[in-house]
Structure formats: structure tokens, C-alpha cells
Structure 1
Amino acid sequence: MKPTKKTRRVDHSERLIAAPLPDVFAAFTSTSMLARWLPPEGATGTFDHCDLRAGGGFRLRLTFDDAQVETKGDDDSDIVEVHIPTLDDGRLIVWEVEFESDDPRFSGTMAMHWYLSRKGGGTLVTIDAHQVPPGISAKDHLEGLNSSLANLAAVVEG
């Protein structure tokens, strides 16, 4: 009998945003806008470097207000290094995300696929996070994805 390879899960979320697709896409290519919407509720984000183009990437420190939040990095923060292999003219954005952590539960590269499509006068934003490290709770991750999407809506709709 062949050994089975354990696959990592895919987390999924989506939101219809009442803004035109070019405005939503701009929120992925502006450092100031990304800093406003990407950190989930209860966190702030600081970029060490940021190059929001295909082939570029960013290093982001997420600092959490609640000291009880389990972080992957140091005492109160998560640090992620993100490579952007795909930035497809407002339709698809791919981020390859690596968490800085000595904990093997957070090792590996998570691929976040952001799909943008026109729908009902707005933009449907769909995210599929592939190969989510097992140390990230599915419940917490979904809450974080939904929070970021709500923040994105607030930034581009307002």
C-alpha cells in the first residue's frame, strides 16, 4: 500500500464590494491602501519593504492589540514575507506567503489567490488560501480573511 501524502487545506472567503473593479485593484497596488485594509481587526500592519508589482513583494509585521493572540513570530507580532508572482491586470493577484517562525506548524509557503470579477455593479473579491500551515486555526483564519475583506470594502467603498 502506498503511503498517502497529507494535503494542506484550502481556506475560502468572498465578498461583493460596492466599488468598480479598477478601484478594488488599486487597493492591492497602493502601499498606503494595503496597510489600511489588509490587517484584520485587532491588528496593525507595518511594512519593512513594499514593492507591489508582479515579481515584487513585501515584508509585513502584523502587531496584535490582544496579548492573548497566539503569534507565529515574536511576542506580539506575526511577520510575513510575501512574493507576488502574479498581478494580472485586475483579475488575479497571487501572493506566496511565508511566516517567520521557528515553529514547524507554520512552515511552508501558503499561496493566496485573490480573484476580482465584475458583478452587479460592483466587484466580487474571492480569496482562496492554498497550503495553509496546520498551525493556523481554520476558524481564526476565516475570521481574519473576512475581516480583511470587510476592511477592503470600507476603504474602497467610502
Structure 2
Amino acid sequence: MGRIDRAGRVIAAPPATVYGALLNRRSLEVWLPPDGMRGRIERWDPRPGGGFRMVLTYLDPTGSPGKTSDATDVVDVGFAELVPPERVAQRAVFGTDDPSYAGTMTMTWEFAATGEGTEVTVTATDVPPGIDRAAHEAGIASSLANLASYVEEAAG
């Protein structure tokens, strides 16, 4: 097993609500892109063995070259495991010719009920070496903050 990156956050919403936000095309387009990016889903099949393709576009690509082009990251994501409302495991492959971003990264999203809502833990395994650890963990934390805002507004 290669490198492992992690991030987590408590979200003020029940696990079923948080889980549902990972299996809704429109919600993913809103909250999954980290700060400084926007996302568009091109293909959508929300079932085990299915998946989606997301095009992430840098709002300002200066100094942050994309993996697929100067301004974009294209990632094909497969749903490896769906265990409502406890876990979503995804296999992500970047569209790139750069071998430092090659391979399949697994993203496991785990949800545990707490008194405050849901503790969400994201574990990325087999992270390609071209992805900077600090930037990746900050990106996951940013997506988690976006997820929290999205589901907490919907719940409130």
C-alpha cells in the first residue's frame, strides 16, 4: 500500500444526510470541488460498480497546474463500496499523461454518529506521488468544509 492521506470533520447533520450528499450528482458538483476550483460531472451512475467523471477547473491556474491540462483535473471515480449510511469507498483515476499522477487512489468516506451530528473521516490510500501531501489534505479539508456548509444549510 502506498501513501495515505487523511482529513476529518464533525458535521451538524445525521449520517444518512451526509451519506446522501455523496450520492447526489448536483450536490457533489456544489461541495466536492475544493476552494479555488469548480466542478462538473460528465457521467453519473450511483451504484456499486458504477461511478462518475468529474472535471475540476482551477479558477486561477497560475502556480497550480492541473493534472489533465493547465487548468483542469479530470478524474474518473468508481464506487467500490456503498454501505448506507456508514461508508462510501471510491476508486479515483486521474486523466493524465504524467506518470507521477498515475494509478488508482482509493478514497474512503466513513460516517459515525456523534452527539453533534456526524464525524466524517476521509482516508485516501495509494495517493499518487505527484500529489503534494499538504495540498491534498488541505483540499480534502476544504471539500469537507463545503460539505458541512451544504448539508447544514439544507438541514437548517
Give the alignment's TM-score, normalised by structure 2: 0.95
Higher Rg: 1
Q: Unaligned stretches of 5+ in structure 2?
A: none
- Residues paired across the two proteins, number: 152
Task: Check the 8 A contact 1:28/1:52 in 2, yes or no.
Answer: no
Code of the aligned partner of 2:44: C
The Cα offsets for residues 87-112 of structure 1, whole Å up to 9 and x where unpaired, read as 11111100000001000000000000
Match of 2:115 in 1: 120
Match of 1:22 in 2: 16
| CA-CA distance at 1:121 after TM superposition | 3.6
Q: Percent identity?
A: 41
- Equivalent-residue separation in structure 2 for 1:37 and 1:128 (angstroms): 18
Match of 2:95 in 1: 100
SS in 1 for 2:22: helix
Code of the aligned partner of 2:5: D
| CA-CA distance at 1:40 after TM superposition | 0.3
| CA-CA distance at 1:118 after TM superposition | 0.3
Question: Within the alignment, does 1:134 sit opposite 2:129 as a pair?
Answer: yes
Q: Which runs of 4+ in 1 moved over 4 A?
A: none
Give the alignment's TM-score, normalised by structure 1: 0.93
| CA-CA distance at 1:26 after TM superposition | 1.1
| CA-CA distance at 1:44 after TM superposition | 0.5
SS in 2 for 1:16: strand
Match of 2:44 in 1: 50
After superposition, the CA RMSD in angstroms is: 0.9
Code of the aligned partner of 1:94: A
SS in 1 for 2:3: coil
Match of 1:77 in 2: 72
